[in-house]
Amino acid sequence: MNMLVTDRPLYTDLVNNYAAFHTHYSESDLLEYQGKWEDDSNYSHVQTIEDLLENLVPSDLERSHIVSVDIRDIFSSEESIGGCDRPLWSIEETTAKKQQFKSLNLHKTYRQDAAQVLSGMLRPNPNGEGYQLVKYIGNNRVAMKLLANAGVSTKVIMSVKFHEPSEKQSSYMAIESELHATDAGEKSGQNEAQKFISGYRANRENEVYCFNFLKNNEFNYRTIMTQEKIDDCEDWLTLKSLQGIKDGMGNGHFKKYGENNVIYALNTIKELAQITGEEVIGATPVEVIALMYSIYTVYGKKEADNPTPMFTSDELHDYFVKLFKKRQDMSFGEKDKLKINDLSWSGGVKDNAYICAREFWPTIVQHWMNIRGTSTGWSLECFANTKLIDKCMDKHLAREVKANIA
């Protein structure tokens, strides 16, 4: 019998949207919303999903169908339990809720024309007959319709297709993730984390490369490593943003600084975090330290075809460690303590070369003099220095970069 299974999730990544909504909103909340908004939707002319399943013929399995669906029958793949969608985020996250209330208050109604058509897939019951409806586009609209109706389940309209039977759960998730990721990429409202998770679940090349890069270098991002059951990941540092590393091999920071230098930067940051006690690291410190590796372990005092670099990677790593240890000394005063996240843009200063010159001079020259056993440092005209100055995109800040280095 081709029935819709609605009493329980059939797959481990699924949650019921209606149940999740009522877990978050109390009865008193919903009483307060009663009568506050109208709902002008009417889908009585649209075939119901029950009618579709009851009269199913083989050719129906190959095409999409527009059907009306009761909200209480909708399930979604939840990111926090290994899925690709964000039904809980759309109910619990303050930003999402503010946008929902703003949209409802603007017209004092849930508008059928604005809501348009949601999208879903029908997963076969792995333990018997029937299907489960998995929505992959439309979380906010489901939440808004429930709000407009004070928590009462009503109909929405949805375009649905059937999954192939006898496939693995991971295959169903990959297909839905690809569809969700395509939609996410077209919507500015989808943030970096949502796009990354859905792209990764869809096995997209860049997101998979980014995930493996993070795993190999033992860095967390959101809850993805926990979801994937990576051993000991709870002890790893967390990156606040994937800026520069989310676009895959040969792109972003990998193209700009070289992948090895990004790896050196991450390894250095891990040791520095043991000194500073930080657990979450922003995007800019990774870029700032990678910039230093890309210049001062490549270029030397003079321009040459095969120059002797100012530092080896180990020597530059040792400099960063010694600097941060020294800057934690209480005798310097609390305001002079250096944190990894201090290597970030602030105010009107959005230039990585300037941050390098501000934080690492003159101590980096003194470090070089110590390990080389010389009393003579390097001048502003040092070829490696000119490369750093060239990276400064602001001509006014470039003067300060030169002054700090000099």
Contact 97, 161 (CB under 8 A): no
Contact 321, 379 (CB under 8 A): no
From the number of C-beta atoms within 10 Å of its C-beta (0-12, 13-18, 19+), residue 208 rates as middle
Residue-wise pLDDT for 176-186, tens only, equals: 988 877 765 55
Residue-wise pLDDT for 88-115, tens only, equals: 999 998 988 999 999 999 989 999 998 9
- DSSP 8-class letter at 336: G
The CA-atom distances, in angstroms, between 8 and each of 17, 129, 175 are 12, 14, 22
Question: Where is 5: in which H helix or E strand?
Answer: none
Q: Return per-residue pLDDT of the chain as tens, 406 residues.
A: 689 999 999 999 999 999 999 999 999 999 999 999 999 999 999 999 999 999 999 999 999 999 999 999 999 999 888 888 889 999 998 988 999 999 999 989 999 998 989 999 999 999 888 999 999 999 999 999 999 999 999 999 999 999 998 888 989 998 998 887 776 555 544 578 878 888 888 888 999 999 999 999 999 998 889 888 899 999 999 999 999 999 889 999 999 999 999 999 999 999 999 999 999 999 999 999 999 999 999 999 988 767 799 999 999 999 999 999 999 875 555 566 899 999 988 766 789 999 999 999 999 999 999 999 999 999 889 999 999 999 998 888 888 889 988 8
Beta-carbon neighbour count of residue 95 at 10 Å?
A: 10
Q: Which two tokens stand for residue 329?
A: 């000394």
Amino acid at 3: M
- Distance of alpha carbon 31 from alpha carbon 36, whole angstroms: 10
Strands, E, within 229-380: which ranges? 237-239, 280-281
- Distance of alpha carbon 334 from alpha carbon 69, whole angstroms: 60
- Sorted by sequence, the CB contacts under 8 Å of residue 70 that are 6+ apart come out as 153, 154, 155
Torsion of CA 62, 64, 66, 68, to 10 degrees: 70
Per the prediction, the chain carries an average pLDDT of 91
Residue-wise pLDDT for 214-257, tens only, equals: 999 999 998 889 888 899 999 999 999 999 999 889 999 999 99
Contact 129, 3 (CB under 8 A): yes
| Interior angle at CA 81, CA 79 and CA 83, nearest 5 | 45
**DSSP H helices in 117-217:** 139-148, 169-185, 192-201, 205-216
Q: Which two tokens stand for residue 263?
A: 């790896």
Torsion of CA 8, 14, 16, 20, to 10 degrees: 120
Bond prior to 58 in cis (omega within 30° of 0): no
- Distance of alpha carbon 273 from alpha carbon 285, whole angstroms: 12
175 by DSSP, 3-state: which?
helix
Q: Which two tokens stand for residue 293?
A: 């590796």
Residue 328 φ/ψ region, left for φ over 0, alpha for ψ in the -120 to 50 degree band, beta for the rest: alpha
